[in-house]
Amino acid sequence: MSSIIQLLPDHVANQIAAGEVVQRPASVVKELLENSVDAGATDIKLIVKDAGKTLIQVIDNGKGMDVTDARLCFERHATSKIRHAEDLFALHTKGFRGEALASIAAIAHVELKTKQDQQELGTHIIIEGSKFVSQDVAVLPKGTSFSVKNLFFNIPARRNFLKSDTVEFRHIIDEFERVALAHPGISFVLYHNGSEMFNLPSSNQRQRIVGVFGARTNEKLVPVNESTEIVQVQGFIVKPEFAKKSRGEQFFFVNNRFIKSGYLHHAIMAAYEGLLKDGCQPGYFLYLDVPPNTIDINIHPTKTEIKFDDEHALYAILRSSVKHSLGQFNVAPVLDFERDANLDTPYDYERKEAVMPMVEVDRNFNPFADDKPAKSAFGTSGGSSAPVRQFRKQERMPAWESLYTGLTPATEEFEGTDFEEDEITGSLFNENEVEQAVQTTYQIHKKYIVSPIKSGMVIIDQKRAHQRILYEQFLKNITVQHGSSQQLLFPLVLHFNKTELDLIREMKSSLENTGFVFAEVNHDHIVVSGLPVNVSESEVSILLEELINDLQQEVPDSSFSQSDSIAKSMAKSLAIKTGTLLTEKEQENMVNSLFACKEPDVSPFNKPTFITVSVEDLDKRFAV
């Protein structure tokens, strides 16, 4: 009987490993950028075509590789970072397992050009699906150029799982920003389809954050700096008034490596307790330096989650550091000690003893005695020479009518003058009609609207009903390309980062169909000169931020799906909230508008908008 267990061929093993290492084009970008950082590069260029599906190229001026290293870097578990198992707990570099390049070469066409500074000629290698096609010498500049073309060309099933170019490029930008923020001393440039998206020169941490997220970010930042034996914390947090609904601007870096940690995020939320609005998330860019032997990086394939030795101490230090910065820079509310200097105690009274007041009582005073005019304001009592104040009843003030005695009525001055009187006419409505007008809708707990029907009554959720009404209205305006707009006397200037502005440019035509008018869309801001009729100026910033956040979660592939997502997001943002008091007319309008919709039964998010209660159901409730 033949053996069942067999060794996998290398190219199959590499394809299986690629399933963990390379999930999408952004995974390749992350590995190549980190390799360039480990090579000591000071200038890194990232060139992307078709969101990485056609080309991902990283060019750096690092130390490069010789001929042997250039060939060995594509072998499985070939690494220069580890010699012993103990080295896993003393890592200062990004990559260390030696599986990324082998996995990438197994599922793409790879071209490597590299040269060391002391060498005259460099090495040029071409690999297609783990197969070496050619290896030549070439005249090259110092550094390395790594090109990955036609990703997943030999695994069509994996390629079909990729999202649209917009979604995949957004993931690439996320990985680019994480590496760029972790290494502000390195210059980074990003090109997509021939257009320059980012050009970040070498700078410090604050300038790098501003370069990635826009110039207006500078005024939002509050520095954090704390040094202990366990961890050194530095970086910036965002002021509470600039908190957003999304969790986009939240970055933890441990030893210059981006990580995700819900536990540390909870420490930040605890420091912001009482300073944020409901549903808002604080922004932070925190760099943590810890001894390498106190963390374990090798617990996750993407190395974005790490294990700390003493998480509880780290939690307490991080929370207190953020709280200290909020208080130190007067971001957190404090007691107001402004006072009138005239009320301060003079220094001359510092050693002066307090004088006890003398209180004496007139023992002969009788409140029930007849009122007699006092001879003097002071008198003697019991042979005492100390003056004692006598009490006397206040004289009754005259009535207020007496203030007007002797005045001539104003009407006497106009005697003989005829005044035109308004003729009392009948009511606009007949009395019978007024008596018959009965309220047909009622609001319960500022949340539900109850309206009677022939078979019983209908109970409507006002928030969901308004979402359905607005959704169909916005979707109709987008598809028909006709939406009413109100012009602003003073245009609004709103600032966004480059990623958000690209998304606004994509949905600009759809937003204009709903009623928005964009006077200008610049490289770091937009100018809004017109708004939809049911949108106020104060709601514009919040509306666009929530719309961008919703579309960033999952950008639809087709234009119709994008229009649907825009209509849903705007309806969710502008719908009346639970707890809003509605007048009788507003309630009736809500009911009529809801049942005029094409699908009044459910909200845009497939939740029921109303329920009906029949008379029979009520009778059963009262049945004995």
**Beta strands 610-614 and 232-238, pairing class:** unpaired
Comparison of pLDDT for 502 and 393, the residue scoring more:
502
The answer, yes or no, to whether residue 302 has pLDDT greater than 50, is yes
In the predicted model, is pLDDT for residue 566 greater than 90? no
pLDDT of residue 17: 65
The architecture in CATH of the region 10-200 reads 2-Layer Sandwich (3.30)
Q: What is the mean pLDDT of residues 214-236?
A: 89
- Residue 486 has, within 13 A of its CA and on its CB side, a CA count of 10
The answer to whether the beta carbons of residues 277 and 243 sit under 8 Å apart is: yes
- The third-level CATH classification (topology) of the domain covering 444-611 is Ribosomal Protein S8; Chain: A, domain 1 (3.30.1370)
Q: Which amino acid is at 421?
A: E
- pLDDT grade for 54, boundaries at 50, 70 and 90: very high
Position 331 scores a pLDDT of 65
pLDDT of residue 420: 57
Q: What is the structure's pLDDT at 480?
A: 79
| pLDDT tens for each residue of 371-405 | 555 554 444 444 444 444 444 444 444 554 544 44
CA 337/CA 349 separation, integer angstroms:
22
Where residue 189 falls among pLDDT bands split at 50, 70, 90? Answer: very high
Q: For 323-376, what is each residue's pLDDT tens digit?
A: 999 888 766 655 556 656 666 666 666 677 777 878 888 888 887 876 555 554
Mean of all residue pLDDT scores within the chain? 80
Residue 528 Cα to chain centre, angstroms: 21
Each domain of the chain, given as residue ranges in start order, spans: 10-200, 205-328, 444-611
pLDDT at residue 29, rounded to an integer: 93
Q: Which of 22, 121, 113 is nearest to 73 (CA)?
A: 113
Q: Are 184 and 42 in contact (CB under 8 A)?
A: no
- In this structure, which topology does domain 205-328 adopt according to CATH? Ribosomal Protein S5; domain 2 (3.30.230)
Percent of the chain with pLDDT over 90: 26
Residue type, 46: L
Question: Which pLDDT does position 468 carry in this prediction?
Answer: 93
Span 218-223, mean pLDDT?
Answer: 90
**584 SS3 class:** helix
pLDDT in tens, 612-621: 999 998 888 8
